[in-house]
Amino acid sequence: MSSFQLPTIRATGDWGPPDTEIPEKFRTLPTQFNHIIANKNSIHLGKVADWTQEVQTPYYQQQQHKEFKQATQQELGPDLEDFSVVSGAKYVKHAAKKRAYGTQVQARGTNYPRTGTRGTTRNARGGRGGRGAQAWTPWDARKPGSNPTQNKSIQYKSSVQIKSTFEPVAKFTFVQLSKLSSVTVIPKGEDLKKCGHVDFYDKKFDKATSKVGMAINKNVVQQRAFFNVTTSEDPIMNLNEVQEKGNVFATDVILSALMASTKSVHSWDVVARKVDGKIWFDKRRHSPLDLLTVNETAKEAPSTEDKDRDHINSAVNLSIEATVVNQCFSQQILQRAQKPTPGQPAPAATKNAKPKEERIQFGEPNPFAAPKEDANDNQSTTESGVRSSGGNPQAPPASIGYKYRMWELSDDIRLVCRCEVDAAVSGNNASQPTMMATVRALTEYEPGSKNDWASKLDSQRGTVLVSEYKNNSAKMSRWILQALLANTEIFKLGFVTRTNSKNNNSHALIAVETTKPVDFVRQFSINVGNMWSIIKTIIETIQKQPNDGKFLIVKLPNKQEIQILSVPENELNDDDDDMDDDMDDDDMDDDGSSVLTGQSEEI
């Protein structure tokens, strides 16, 4: 009969078998491997088998295997003394293989362009002078603080108080708007009326350079009257002949903001009124659209914090500065038409100079000013009830021509827009026609920095333009759209910098870029067809509402969304705006909802 005999069990106080039971060939190997991981800050001491520790990370496991291998090789060293390598030269990885590996990494579905470096894609190309800063990629996630999303983002406040009585109608994310099917054929505008006048551009300003700057004269603003009239208060828009042509009405400032809404970072709002099937897009008094933003889309945007509001480089102060500079620049670069003295002949051209061209009248006078000129042409009055956006309301109107143009977007949408023309540009000779121009100015508030214009504008203007569009894509996209809406042939873009970085009242013009608006569209890859689809979608959304009423279109703060809300008729009136402006910012949370009533409606 078979039997089973239990083996002898020898218990020891230590972990593992007793030394007497270990075979001779294994006695030289350590039974307990301690792995030490040292760096400049600390030393980590661990064990091979420690049931009290947590699961090791892959990094520590690799270190443990590495040290075990080293210990094993030390014991087996005598057996490897006869082993020799073929070559002791250090292997050099060729640049071509490095690039090939980088291409393979991108081919794995992680298309993260590295800006500023040489690469295989367009986004990976760097500028001259070597390698630039690299964009963040998932491979950098292991580095503490390397992910830019970990940094605290800027919290913007709503441009309008969103109350619980506002009923949501529709919401569009920027992704949805950017994916709208682009209009295959860009609609052509039709001129309905022309008003106002424009003076001729003085070509001496084309000679401005960083070495030969031209001072900006702030007094020119006090010599002209600027008008800020919303759509429904425009007397031309209220004419029967204009209303018979269209059923949607807006200004170029409002229309461009809606069309380029996906470029925005700051909050803004537009009020839409649907009356008898017709839609009127209006700005509220003191609207954010009245001021030009500065570096709105830059990585390091100016501060909007209340504690920094009084700083010279806060977002609000930079916006005011840029708006005033643009008004000054638009008038300073013009030739002032000189009317001949009664009884005296007009000055004739000489060999070295030609007389200044007379201003171009746009058929009808400025609709917002009723000038009563005396013999010296130095006095005028303005129509009552018309808003003035700067300058001297009693001075002659600024050189601005108004075009009232109509676009037929569909059988049910006939859009009428008031567009502005800033200047006329004469040809180089008599055979070249006079062209209409849009005039705008970019402002630099930190001259002397590593990216200052003075060192790059004269030799690398294209690089500066691309950089400025990246930092101001919302503002510049609106400008380009306004030029396209007005159908101007020339775009005059000035570069105005502070003469001292700590003084926001002294500026100099150091360059003027002259190009066609369509060239800017191509250079900055602006999808104009998609922008027409955006405004068409917004109009159709309001048209589909069963009843007439008032609607609020708001770009939500800290979100890439456009919200349309139905608003009670007694809300958002200009009479209430002063009360809204006086409301403490603490009474409004980040999404614009009132916190005074304890109610916040999620949109």
Handedness of CA 195, 196, 200, 201 (dihedral sign): negative
Q: Identify the pLDDT of residue 407.
A: 97
User: Is residue 589 scored above 50 in pLDDT?
Assistant: no
**Residue given tokens 């030490």 in the structure block:** 36
How far is 217 from 198, CA to CA, in rounded Å? 20
How far is 152 from 146, CA to CA, in rounded Å? 13
Give per-residue pLDDT as tens, 413-430: 999 999 999 999 998 877
Q: Identify the pLDDT of residue 599.
A: 30
pLDDT band at 184 (very low <50, low <70, confident <90, very high): confident
User: Is residue 518 scored above 50 in pLDDT?
Assistant: yes
Task: Give the Cβ contact number of residue 455 at 10 Å.
Answer: 15
How far is 466 from 469, CA to CA, in rounded Å? 5
How far is 441 from 444, CA to CA, in rounded Å? 10
How far is 384 from 369, CA to CA, in rounded Å? 9
How far is 446 from 452, CA to CA, in rounded Å? 7
Residue 215 CA: distances (Å) to CA of 208, 364, 498, 500, 505: 10, 34, 10, 12, 11
Q: Are strands 278-282 and 360-361 parallel, antiparallel or unpaired?
A: unpaired
**Residue given tokens 């402006």 in the structure block:** 581
How far is 42 from 62, CA to CA, in rounded Å? 18
Q: Which two tokens stand for residue 271?
A: 């009020």
How far is 285 from 233, CA to CA, in rounded Å? 12
Mean pLDDT of 215-227: 89
Q: Identify the pLDDT of residue 328.
A: 95
3 state DSSP class of 195: strand
Spatial neighbors of 1 by CB under 8 A, at least 6 apart, are none
Residue 495 CA: distances (Å) to CA of 321, 461, 479: 14, 11, 15
**Residue given tokens 């590495």 in the structure block:** 66
Give per-residue pLDDT as tens, 270-329: 999 999 999 999 999 989 999 999 999 999 899 888 888 889 999 999 999 999 999 999
Q: Identify the pLDDT of residue 53.
A: 55
**C-alpha torsion 165→166→169→174, nearest 10:** -140
Residue 88 CA: distances (Å) to CA of 76, 85, 91, 191, 553: 22, 7, 9, 81, 72
Question: Is the model more confident about 100 or about 518?
Answer: 518
How far is 178 from 174, CA to CA, in rounded Å? 6
User: Is residue 236 scored above 70 in pLDDT?
Assistant: yes
Q: Calculate what percentage of the chain has a pLDDT beyond 70.
A: 65
Q: Which two tokens stand for residue 212?
A: 């030969």
Of the listed ranges 107-111, 167-171, 433-437, the least confidently predicted one is 107-111
Mean pLDDT of 223-230: 90
Q: Are strands 401-410 and 503-515 parallel, antiparallel or unpaired?
A: unpaired
Give per-residue pLDDT as tens, 519-563: 999 999 999 999 999 999 999 999 999 999 999 999 999 999 999
Encode 359-418 in three state secondary structure.
Answer: CEECCECCCCECCCCCCCCCCCCECCCCCEEEECCCCCECCCEEEEEEEEEECCEEEEEE
User: Is residue 5 scored above 90 in pLDDT?
Assistant: no
129 alpha carbon, distance to own chain's centre: 27
* 8-state DSSP, 303: P
* 8-state DSSP, 565: E
Chain length of the chain = 603
How far is 473 from 483, CA to CA, in rounded Å? 15
Q: Which two tokens stand for residue 174?
A: 């920027």
Q: In DSSP terms, which residues pair with 595 in a beta bridge? A: none
Helix, strand, coil distribution of the chain in percent, nearest 5: 30, 20, 50
Q: Which amino acid is at 517?
A: P
**Is residue 590 within 8 Å of 155, Cβ to Cβ?**
yes
Q: Identify the pLDDT of residue 292.
A: 96
Mean pLDDT of 190-198: 95
Mean pLDDT of 334-344: 58
Residue whose C-alpha is closest to residue 195's, from 244, 246, 229 = 229
Mean pLDDT of 430-451: 88
**Residue given tokens 């007094």 in the structure block:** 219
Encode 101-149 in three state secondary structure.
Answer: HHHHHHHCCCCCCCCCCCCCCHHHCCCCCCCCCCCCCHHHHHCCCCCHH
Q: Identify the pLDDT of residue 430.
A: 76
User: Is residue 75 scored above 70 in pLDDT?
Assistant: no
Q: Calculate what percentage of the chain has a pLDDT beyond 90.
A: 49
* 8-state DSSP, 515: E
pLDDT band at 76 (very low <50, low <70, confident <90, very high): low
Question: Is the model more confident about 412 or about 90?
Answer: 412
Mean pLDDT across the chain, nearest whole number?
77
User: Is residue 65 scored above 90 in pLDDT?
Assistant: no
Of the listed ranges 257-261, 497-501, 589-593, the least confidently predicted one is 589-593
For the chain, give every domain's residue range. Answer: 171-338+354-587
Task: Give the Cβ contact number of residue 91 at 10 Å.
Answer: 5
Handedness of CA 393, 397, 398, 403 (dihedral sign): positive
Spatial neighbors of 52 by CB under 8 A, at least 6 apart, are none
User: Is residue 134 scored above 50 in pLDDT?
Assistant: no
Residue whose C-alpha is closest to residue 365's, from 236, 491, 273, 483 = 236
